Structure 1
Amino acid sequence: MLEFFSTGNILVHIPLGSGGYDLSYIEAIGTICGLLCIYLASIEKTINYLFGLLNVSLFAIIFFQINLYASLLLQIFFFAANIYGWYAWTRVKQDTQEVTLKTRWMSLPKMLIWLVISLISIILLTFYIDPVFACFTDITVNVLNTVGFNIDTPTLAPDAYPFWDSSLMVLSIVAQILMTRKYVENWILWIMINVISVVIFALQGVYAMAIEYTILMFIAINGVRMWTKSAKMNQIN
């Protein structure tokens, strides 16, 4: 059973880039769950959070196997955000039994606050991304070793794209938070995240992931359209 979750358990060889790309079962299933999660969220189906939990759990296993411990920590955040989002989307008013949270646009003051927080976080992380991720990695390795794993702390190379990598991490966290609160702006951020991701993955030669994020970009564009329509209806009602 454990062998099934190994990144070495190859489903198919994809002839992309130099030497092609071996797609494992766990990556394929995790990717499908991720695509379903984003699509279902774009049409406001709460079941998206089930696929989101499966996606981040499988990706956490992948990142553990390939020694990307900081990325593993980010999946832990996404796991918690998915649980909260599921609760927030299904919470109802006691008197009317109506869903409390409805799709809407952010107010200008809230938008400015999030913009300032994002910009400051991106700038700080850009300058300190290597020591921050090294710290996260040390913490993760120590925690895993405490519960019985016997792994060595990996040697981390300097970040290839510190500004863009920092932007992706900060904007992904902000977008996930805004999605759990049903703000339309979350989809605008996901479009930006997906465009940056496609370019970076293409430059790095990871063409399979570049294709995946291209699909996600079009789903996010549809998310803006669907949630804008829903927000207008909520304003009328």
Structure 2
Amino acid sequence: MKNLWKDWTIFEKVWLAVFTMVNVYLFFAWEDSVLGLVTSLSGMLCVVLVAKGKIANYYFGIVQTGLYAYLSYGYGLYGETMLNALFYFPAQFVGLYLWNKNKIAQTVKGEDIPVKKLTRKGWMMAGVVSLGMIIIYGFVLQIIGGKVVWVDSATTVLSVLAQILMIKRYAEQWLFWIVVNILSIILWAQALWTQGGNDMSMLVMWMAFLINSIYGYYNWNKVYQKQEGAE
């Protein structure tokens, strides 16, 4: 943790500062919940550290996934609830172990782990599996009375795939996160609009995640090229 803030770029510092201030403003202006604020702030710290390839992201991920599961349950977003409580939360500990196990001694630009890229076969498998699971899980959510089931199903399935790719250190995880973040913005906007509630920080969090995903894809590809060139 002593090197947590080492090697931060101006963009990363400004990005984090702006969205932190927006969250704090919403907390007072919209009488947002404390849980929503803590969830959003810990989530933003988690994802920006992932974009930097820092193992410390998992500590904030543990906090964010636990609280987010609780908030999602309250809005009837059962796919999001199960995803975070049953998959994301334990996945933080798995990722923490595997990233530490594969940690590199010398870094190219502050990252802790080596970055990999998917093969063509890997892309084909990811596409077929994700499409099939979205259809199956969508029907499951309909049966248990979930809200916005197809968007919820897509975010859940693609999130699982993205998390697995993240744990295995593939740069393409960010493309799946971009889709997940766009769908999650739609999901929460519709939930807040139709059901009410004051957890506006959830929308801000997903917007911040979307910006970070685009940056993360750029940064991980750059790191991959530098690591390949250093071999």
Q: Where on the TM-score scale, by shorter chain, does this alignment land: which range?
A: 0.7 to 0.9
Once the 2 structures are TM-superposed, how far is the Cα of residue 98 of structure 1 from its aligned partner?
A: 7.7
TM-score (normalised: structure 1): 0.72
Q: Which has the larger radius of gyration?
A: 1
Q: Residue 184 and residue 97 in structure 1: after superposition, are their counterparts in 2 closer, same or farther (change >3 A)?
A: closer
CA distance in 1, matches of 2:215, 2:47: 10
Once the 2 structures are TM-superposed, how far is the Cα of residue 78 of structure 1 from its aligned partner?
A: 0.7
Once the 2 structures are TM-superposed, how far is the Cα of residue 163 of structure 1 from its aligned partner?
A: 1.8
Which of residues 166, 173, 178 is equivalent to 1:179? 166
Q: Residue 37 and residue 105 in structure 1: after superposition, are their counterparts in 2 closer, same or farther (change >3 A)?
A: same
**RMSD between aligned alpha carbons?**
2.7
Which of residues 52, 57, 77 is equivalent to 1:43? 52
Q: Which residue of 2 aligns with 1:142?
A: none
Once the 2 structures are TM-superposed, how far is the Cα of residue 28 of structure 1 from its aligned partner?
A: 1.1
Alignment of 1:134-213 (within 5 A): 134=144, 158-204=145-191, 205=193, 207-213=200-206
CA distance in 2, matches of 1:201, 1:61: 14
Query: Could you say what secondary structure the match of 1:23 adopts?
Result: coil
Aligned 8 A contact 1:104 1:234 in 2: no
Alignment of 1:54-133 (within 5 A): 54-63=63-72, 71-76=80-85, 77-92=87-102, 102-131=114-143
Deviations 1:53-82 (A, max 9, x none): 111122344456677666443223111111
Give the helix-richer structure, 1 or 2: 2
Greater length-normalized contact order (CA 8 Å, ≥ 6 residues apart) = 2
Q: Residue 63 and residue 92 in structure 1: after superposition, are their counterparts in 2 closer, same or farther (change >3 A)?
A: closer
Identity, % of aligned positions = 27
Q: Give the unaligned 5+ runs of structure 1.
A: 1-10, 16-21, 135-157
CA distance in 1, matches of 2:173, 2:216: 9
Q: What amino acid is the match of 1:106?
A: L
Q: Which residue of 2 aligns with 1:33?
A: 42
Once the 2 structures are TM-superposed, how far is the Cα of residue 207 of structure 1 from its aligned partner?
A: 4.6
CA distance in 2, matches of 1:64, 1:169: 14
Aligned 8 A contact 2:130 2:157 in 1: yes
Q: Give the unaligned 5+ runs of structure 2.
A: 1-25, 194-198
Aligned residues: 194
